Amino acid sequence: MSKPHISIEKLNVFYEGKHVLKDITLDIPEKQITAIIGPSGCGKTTLLRCLNRLVDLVDGVRVSGKVSFDGTDVFNNGVEITNIRKKMGLIAQTPNPLPMSIYDNIAYGPRIHGLKDRTKLDHIVERCLETAGLWSEVKDRLGEPASKLSIGQQQRLCLARALTVEPEVLLCDEPTSALDPISARHIEEQLLALKVDYTIVFVTHVLRQARRLADYVVLLYLGELIEYGPAETVFSQPSDPRTKAYIEGVFG
């Protein structure tokens, strides 16, 4: 296994008294795609949202344990969470463009982090849209509202936006579940290409997608981690009988 980029130790999450993640310990390897799979309600999204502490925004959440990223504990009170979030881009389940133009959506991240130079911004906008495979479709209408794009284009816009602040990690929360098959394939292809430069954590409930993309697989079941390892091993020789049952489609 390559060098761990994020280390999770004994992570527990309680949501209004309900124990939603139980003693999760795992290392997420650098510049690989790690897929978090499991039936709905097993805590996949919660685990993902713990990594950049978006879980903070939910009322009534209590977290214990440790998430180390670049040597700092994300949940340490002294930590500047905006810096952590800058280093971890998020692609949500449904596209979430900001209420502004296509250009401003992409320029938003660099701008809040202090970049004002128009030429540099132009450059970032072009480069990130290019990487997300959207540039040719929108280059003549950057001033239009982002909400006018199709859903598939919006999701690629969100991918481009996540890349603008030069993250090290991309957190993807079922990023293709709201998309048509062609747009979904676009996103998958881009993620595979981005693996060279980014650590990708990918939540999905589609097993075939995990097989196509993942280098490592994490299987959660009712808030517990029941299987973790290289994708091939997990899919061919699972160690836990529940994994085998899940992969064979007995539940989920």
Partner 1 sequence: MDKRKLEENFFIGMMIASTLLVLGGLMSVLIVVLLRGAPALSISMLTQTPKGGYYLGKEGGVLNAIVGSIYLACGATAIALVISLPTALYLSEHARKSKLGSFARQSLDVLWSVPSIIYGVFGFTIMVYLGMRASLLGGIVALALLELPIMTRVMDEVMKMVPSKTKEASYALGATKAETALNVICRQALPGIVMAVLLAFGRAIGDAASVLFTAGYTDYIPRSLFDPAASLPLAVFFQLGTPFPEVQQRAYASGFILLVIVLSLSVASRFLAKRSARYVIR
In the complex, the smallest distance separating the C-beta of residue 207 from partner 1, rounded to whole angstroms, is 26
Is 52 an interacting residue with respect to partner 1 (CB under 8 A)? Answer: yes
Count CB-CB contacts under 10 A for residue 165: 19
Whose tokens are 């795992």? That residue is 26
Residue 57 or 182: the one with the smaller Cβ distance to partner 1 is: 57
Supply the DSSP symbol for 115.
Answer: -
**CA 79 to chain centroid:** 21
Residue 3 or 111: the one with the smaller Cβ distance to partner 1 is: 111
In the complex, the smallest distance separating the C-beta of residue 80 from partner 1, rounded to whole angstroms, is 9
Contact between residue 228 and residue 27 where contact means Cβ atoms under 8 Å apart: no
Residue 12 or 96: the one with the smaller Cβ distance to partner 1 is: 96
CA distance 165 to 89: 8
Considering only residues 185-224, where is the footprint of partner 1 by CB under 8 A? none
In the complex, the smallest distance separating the C-beta of residue 77 from partner 1, rounded to whole angstroms, is 16
CA distance 229 to 215: 9
CA distances from 13 to 39, 55, 102, 219, 247 (A): 18, 9, 36, 17, 26
Is 63 an interacting residue with respect to partner 1 (CB under 8 A)? Answer: no
Residue 23 or 168: the one with the smaller Cβ distance to partner 1 is: 168
Structure tokens at 182: 């062609």
Among the residue ranges 31-39, 117-125, 142-150, 183-191, the one whose residues contact partner 1 (CB under 8 A):
142-150
First-last CA distance in the chain:
28
In the complex, the smallest distance separating the C-beta of residue 202 from partner 1, rounded to whole angstroms, is 16
Q: Tell me how many residues contact partner 1 (CB under 8 A).
A: 32
Among candidate residues 38, 1, 40, the one with its CA nearest the CA of residue 247: 38
In the complex, the smallest distance separating the C-beta of residue 130 from partner 1, rounded to whole angstroms, is 19
Whose tokens are 């310990």? That residue is 25
- Amino acid 90 reads L
Contact residue for partner 1 among 5, 44, 156, 161 (CB under 8 A): 161
CA distance 143 to 83: 29
Considering only residues 67-106, where is the footprint of partner 1 by CB under 8 A? 82-86, 88-90, 92, 94, 96-101
Residue 101 or 204: the one with the smaller Cβ distance to partner 1 is: 101
Residues that bind partner 1 (CB under 8 A): 52, 54, 57, 59, 82-86, 88-90, 92, 94, 96-101, 108-109, 112-113, 145-147, 158, 161-162, 164-165
